[in-house]
Structure 1
Amino acid sequence: MLRMSRPEDMEEIVEIWLLASLQAHDFVDASCWWQAQEDLRTRYLDHARIWVFEERGDLLGFTALVEDFLAALFVRPDRQGRGVGHALLQEVKAQGKALHTRVFVENEPAVRFYRRHGFVIGGEVADPLTGHLQYKMSCPAIRIPG
């Protein structure tokens, strides 16, 4: 079930982010992700509209939208490949805005995921936290009938 996040979800959201970041971004030193947890809370999550995917009381994934910037879309590593990320992205796209995000160049599965969902690469930029290159990706607004 998709729903808006609640304050009591925050610890589980950060846990999902950390576990998924460690797996998907294994090209970055793990200490970087451990140290970035507080920045995640204050820089993105406190200012974002957050949706979570919940199943039987467990959060499986979340997405965070700051205006038209998709700041986060993460799924628990043991629950990936089951449509959770697709459902979360569809919810964000249903807001009717053109979207922008950044994806590490080395994270090929994520790049493929976003391209399958209509995002295009519009350039590269160095991530200020890690120094690794990220693609700047965007997706035009999609009007959903009804």
Structure 2
Amino acid sequence: MFKINRLRQITDQELDRIMEIWIEGNVSAHDFISPVYWQNNKELVRKMIAVSTIYVITKNDDHIVGFAGIQKNYLAGIFIKKDFQNQGLGKELLNCIKLDYNELFLSVYNKNQSAKAFYLKNQFTRSTSQLDKATGEIETTMHWRKE
């Protein structure tokens, strides 16, 4: 049984679990970027997560298997633990988030075809593309608005 919660305050244990999923997800989804890049940014992201709105999806009410982070209406990412991917959990998480927002923006690397396809399938549209100077990769900004 899976459950989605919006966290009010994140415990250290929850943050540790979220960071494990974040690093695993980024290394797996972005094989075109050195894993060192993600390791080098881990502490910065940890601080950002602490001040973001975090939605988690848990199994049996306590085991975090995925999460999404939002800053204002910018969706920083959806991350599902590898063992739980392709079960519709990312879509469930996104649909839950859409209930709380009228509009969302996000950036996705052009080489991350599966993420682009996921967001397009879930009513996001492409707006602009730009170079991510930190990675040297092109990323596309995508937008969703409640109808």
- SS of the aligned residue for 1:94 comes to helix
Give the aligned partner of residue 55 of structure 2.
51
Using the size of structure 2 for normalisation, the TM-score is 0.91
Deviation at 1:129, TM superposition (A): 2.5
Q: How does 1:33-48 map to 2 (within 5 A)?
A: 33-42=38-47, 44-48=48-52
What is the aligned partner in structure 2 of residue 141 from structure 1?
146
Over the aligned positions, Cα root-mean-square deviation in angstroms equals 1.2
Task: For structure 1, list consecutive stretches of 5 or more residues without a partner in the other structure.
Answer: none
Amino acid at match of 1:46: A
Measured against aligned partners, the alpha-carbon deviations of 1:58-83 in whole angstroms (never above 9, x if no partner) come to 21100011111001211111211011
TM-score (norm 1): 0.91
CA contact (8 A) 2:130 2:140 kept: yes
What corresponds to 2:4 in structure 1?
A: 2
Residue in structure 1 matching 2:75, options 37, 53, 70: 70
Match of 1:114 in 2: 119
4+ residue runs over 3 A deviation: none
Higher strand share: 2
Q: CA deviation at 1:38?
A: 0.6
Give the match's secondary structure for 2:105: strand
Distance 2:75 2:92 in 1: 14
Give the corresponding residue for 1:85: 90
Q: CA contact under 8 A between 2:74 and 2:105: conserved in structure 1?
A: yes
| Alignment equivalent of 2:16, drawn from 11, 32, 43 | 11
Structure 2: 5+ residue stretches without partners: none
